[in-house]
Amino acid sequence: MKVAGRQYRSLWWSAEEGALQIIDQRWLPHDFRIDTVRTMDAFCDAIVQMRVRGAPLIGATAAYGMALAMAQDASDAALNAAYDRLHGTRPTAINLHWALDRARAALLPTAADARAAAALALAHQIADEDVEINRRIGQHGLPILREIAAAKPPGEPVRVLTHCNAGWIATVDWGTATSPLYQGHDAGIALHVWTDETRPRNQGALTAWELGSHGVPHAYVTDNAGGHLMQRGLVDLVITGTDRVTRTGDVCNKIGTYLKALAARDNGVPFYVALPSPTIDWTVSDGIAEIPIEERDPREVTHVQGATGDGIASVRVTPDGTPARNDAFDVTPARLVSAFITERGVAAASEQGLAALFPEMAARRA
């Protein structure tokens, strides 16, 4: 996507630097900063501190981390050590584990003197695949937007509610939940997007920054406004991304997603999840019981970051000494999901629905 007239991906490999370059998302939407990641410590920090975030982007970053490790030491011991360090950075987003498992499986049979080149080629491949997957998700989401638009009075926009940021900045490009929106807007479909703030970390502001840069009409609303907007008939559909989906269709996503799904069901609003296939965890059937939920630093709850006259600052919003809890994700049961929008089409939120679109993946995990 474009920023200030220049085309960017969320990350890219610099042959000149021999390192990964990323958009450091800690400072968005107030400041656009590019950082160079040169060491394994920096790769792990980038993932843990959410300099890169979003399940697909975390996976691609981990693949480049393996490439950096192999360029420095291509031994089996170094390969396994890099795998373990990167694997331990964040527990919930399955794309991290998917990319690392794929890299290790490809590299272990490869001769040590060929591993560095093979690892970098694989990281490029994973990044390029993510872009194409997300582009196709947008293509398959377009008919949903067109159908809703066709049923509305002339000139009235399709009103979409999003939660968290599942945009291009959370993937390598296009985004998952935003890909249908970008492609719909570009196709001339009138849209209005409600981007809820998504506390903590206010990641809805990243969605607002993205949509504004692309010219998509939108408004920023509080997390608790979603149900109210649905009751008032101001939401035609909800589209979210996801960090992990079980083979039975349970959705693990940013905390608060479950509440949006409940409000959508109560008000008859379709609730769609944009799902790239690497985010399906075919080994898990019960999302509530089996998916580990990351608990992050309580400071993300007690403090907020924003722009001031002197730059970007963090301020406390709770009484001094008040404890907080910061569960980063929740699980939405499959029964509350209208359908998945995937790179192969729209799937029912069930084991049968997912397996019908991805039979080879389901068979491998059977």
**Which residues are annotated as catalytic?**
243
CB 166 within 8 A of CB 138: no
Kindly report the length of the chain: 366
HSE-CB for 8 with a 13 A CA cutoff: 21
Locate the DSSP E strands across 137-250.
158-162, 191-196, 218-221, 237-240, 244-246
Q: Is residue 201 left, alpha or beta, with left meaning phi > 0 and alpha meaning psi from -120 to 50?
A: left
Single out the residue of 176, 172, 218 nearest to residue 197, CA to CA. 218
Pairing of strands 19-23, 34-37: antiparallel
Which residue in the block uniquely carries the two structure tokens 């630097």?
17
Residue 36: phi and psi, rounded to 5, are -105, 130
Beta-carbon contacts of 327 under 8 Å, excluding residues fewer than 6 positions away, are 255, 293, 294, 295
CB 54 within 8 A of CB 171: yes
Single out the residue of 176, 138, 162 nearest to residue 55, CA to CA. 176
Strand partners, 160: 193, 237
